Amino acid sequence: MLSFSISGTYTDLYEITMGQTYFLEGRQEEPASFDYFFRKIPDKGGYVLFAGLHDLLDVLEDLHFTDEDIAYLQDLNLNPSFIDFLKGFNFKGTLYAAAEGEVVFPNTPVVRVEGTILETQLVESLLLNILNFESLVATKASRMRYVAGNRILSDFGLRRAHGPGAVLAARAAMVGGFNSTSNVYAAQKYGIPAAGTMAHSFIESYDDELEAFRAFARARPDGCIFLVDTYNTLKSGVPNAITAARELEALGHKAIGIRLDSGDLATLAKRSRTMLNEAGLPYLKIITSNQLDEYVIKELLEQQAPIDIFGVGTKLVTGAPDAALDGVYKIAMAAGKPRLKLSETKEKITLPGIKQVLRLMDTNGMFYGADAIVLAAEGDHADLLRHPFEDDTSLRINGYLQEPLLQKVMENGKRTAPQPPLPEITAFSQSRLKLLPDAFKHFDNPQGYNVGLSQKLWDLREQLKQHYRQ
């Protein structure tokens, strides 16, 4: 369940003023459909991992305007009859979406929202707020999982996150393959394993580093991770951690490990591992932190640093370096007619009508490297794939397994199935990433995934382009 409450005013003002116009024009029950998609993959990557769907469904199931919301809206000089309408507002729409944790690509519909023109418009901003952010963080997390292999990844980002976004980031990191979070609130709300060590200030508050370790060990004998770089990592930190760990052993307990938070992490990890092994403590794990991301993790492992756990903060929860996923929400159908937005930039011309996305699979069950966007009325099969922006480029796709990605997840404002446990979503995302060839996962110049249109969708778009240009 979403960890904080969202009401009807969690939106941009223009969503409400457009909704008022629909209402005053008598169009509030007119059917409409919007598509959520993105145009650019962050960090020059090869894919995006879709996240945030179930947080969105939580919000939509309970979306309404509180008494406080109504009082505030009255101060905005909205029409009294429209405000009366909002008093009884609940979202009653239908959503089709890719499964949370699915691997998705630019310009393909990831979520389709159907309902009245008024309700589908009102949910735009909150939908973008949740899905863009969680998908950004999940994608970043999945890149770290890709290079970290089976090593443990823990979210340490609460203190550097953008306010309460730290809570959604912790969940999204799990979707992307992380194992735990230091964020106790997120751990409690989402059922994520909580993990943590100690701060330099704790050690500095004692006159002696070893006494600080001993005090922590007395208070937490089966959960000790010693931070060893407060003074001198190799001359005092690791030796003192060894002493404290041996004392715990004598009492029948075992420490978990040591944490390195500064310096040459690869060299320090190697030398620390040697010291711990020689002291008869091979079970103590080495945890590292300090401005980690997928590139740093990759470099450390290429140097064969014996690191067991990576604690990742700032660059995870802020989605650095891009900081935002450019997801958009565009109308595709209104009043029974397909709709289209024109643009001087051909890549920004939208796709009209009610659509489905088909994932092409090769004979080995791997992603073929192409998705087909088709009109939903065509069913779950297409014969020809047209390049979305080039008139003379097409591909015959008979013979490939075509898997429909958009499934009904909400009907009449209610989920169509119970929310899956977070570990199940994580397992699904990892299983789907395994089907994506490595060429699309490279950090440098990944192969581009093809996205094409069915002939019928291509023809519909061309007809509407000519109609509106006239």
Beta strand spans in 135-281 (E):
152-155, 180-181, 225-227, 257-260
Quote the pLDDT of residue 79.
97
Quote the pLDDT of residue 395.
86
80: exposed, middle or buried (C-beta count within 10 Å: 0-12, 13-18, 19+)?
exposed
pLDDT in tens, 372-406: 999 999 998 888 899 998 888 888 888 889 999 99
The C-alpha atoms of residue 125 and residue 112 are separated, in whole angstroms, by: 15
The C-alpha atoms of residue 424 and residue 417 are separated, in whole angstroms, by: 14
Quote the pLDDT of residue 4.
57
Kind plus residue range of the DSSP H or E element containing 384: strand 384-386
Q: What ranges do the domains of the chain cover?
A: 13-137+322-469, 138-317
Q: Which parts of the chain sit beneath pLDDT 50?
A: 3
Quote the pLDDT of residue 393.
87
Separation in Å, CA 313 to CA 316, 319, 465: 6, 10, 46
Quote the pLDDT of residue 266.
98
pLDDT in tens, 260-284: 999 999 999 999 999 999 999 999 9
**Superfamily assignment of 138-317 in CATH?**
Aldolase class I (3.20.20.70)
For strand 180-181 and strand 152-155, is the pairing parallel, antiparallel, or unpaired? parallel
In single-letter form, the type of residue at position 10 comes to Y
β-bridge mates for residue 371, sequence order: 359, 451
Quote the pLDDT of residue 391.
86
Structure tokens belonging to residue 149: 């292999």
Residue 35: half-sphere exposure toward Cβ, Cα within 13 Å = 26
Quote the pLDDT of residue 206.
98
In single-letter form, the type of residue at position 280 comes to G
CA 295 to chain CA centroid, nearest Å: 19
DSSP string for residues in 28-71? TT-EEEEEEEESS-GGG-S-EE---HHHHHHHHHT----HHHHH
Residue (of 6, 125, 133, 114) closest to 58 by Cα position = 6
CB atoms within 10 A of CB 422: 16
The values of phi and psi at residue 432, to 5°, are -75, -40
Quote the pLDDT of residue 2.
53
Q: Is the pTM of this model over 0.75?
A: yes
- CATH annotation of 13-137+322-469: 3.20.140.10
Cβ 94 vs Cβ 32: under 8 Å? no
